[in-house]
Structure 1
């Protein structure tokens, strides 16, 4: 494992990228995903497989827009940087609920496998894959 200053800075930026992803979801700011994903981003979520940023954002929004309360959390984050590319492996917890209840309508637990690339605007996710492990509720 390389712990030089450049790699540590990259890993911090990549970790922040995950936080921006969660914030965009939790706050229903789906347009903010444009600054998280590359234009040609691909991936698989619980709502299917997407082959562009617009398709992925539409999938993500469709799966979350009907819930007033959202909470997404990454844990056990492993970031590996190799020049201008990176891989991220992390567990994701997603809680979804309605405005009139503090009890989640559904709870999802999965494994995220993410690829990221360095762009002129900073790190962006080029591939976002979420494998469900457990789903409780809807």
Structure 2
């Protein structure tokens, strides 16, 4: 494992990409994902697969815009840098809910496997892959 200053700085910037993504989702500022994804990004989420940043942002927005309360958390983040490319593996927890209640209406857990590239504007995600692992809808708990 390489721990030189450049690699550590790259890993910090790549980790920040995840934080910016989570903030954009939670705060419904989906246009901010333009600063996270490459223009030609590909991806698959629970809302489908697509190619192109605009298509991916539309899919992400469609899956999140109707939830007043959102909370996305990334954990067990593993980042591997190889020159101007990188891979990011992380667990993602997503809670959704309504303004009327502090109790989530659903909990989703997934595994994120992303690829990133260094661009003139910094690191950007070029491939976004979210694999669902568990989904818990509050009305089905105990059913």
TM-score range, shorter chain: over 0.9
Q: What does residue 97 of structure 1 align with?
A: 97
Q: What does residue 141 of structure 2 align with?
A: none
CA drift of 1:50 comes to: 1.1
User: Deviation above 6 Å: which 4+ runs of structure 1?
Assistant: none
TM-score in terms of structure 2 length:
0.95
Whole-angstrom CA distance in 2 between matches of 1:49 and 1:75: 23
Q: What does residue 120 of structure 1 align with?
A: 120
Q: What does residue 58 of structure 2 align with?
A: 58
Whole-angstrom CA distance in 2 between matches of 1:107 and 1:33: 22
Q: What does residue 48 of structure 1 align with?
A: 48
Q: What does residue 80 of structure 1 align with?
A: 80
Q: What does residue 9 of structure 2 align with?
A: 9
Whole-angstrom CA distance in 2 between matches of 1:126 and 1:106: 28
Q: Secondary structure of 1:18's partner?
A: helix
Whole-angstrom CA distance in 2 between matches of 1:16 and 1:124: 10
Deviations 1:27-58 (A, max 9, x none): 00000000100000000000000111011000
Whole-angstrom CA distance in 1 between matches of 2:92 and 2:22: 10
Structure 2 unaligned spans of 5+:
139-143
Whole-angstrom CA distance in 2 between matches of 1:104 and 1:130: 21
Whole-angstrom CA distance in 2 between matches of 1:15 and 1:9: 10
Q: What does residue 23 of structure 1 align with?
A: 23
Structure 1 unaligned spans of 5+:
none
Q: Secondary structure of 1:66's partner?
A: coil
Whole-angstrom CA distance in 2 between matches of 1:132 and 1:102: 24
TM-score in terms of structure 1 length:
0.99
* RMSD after superposition: 0.7
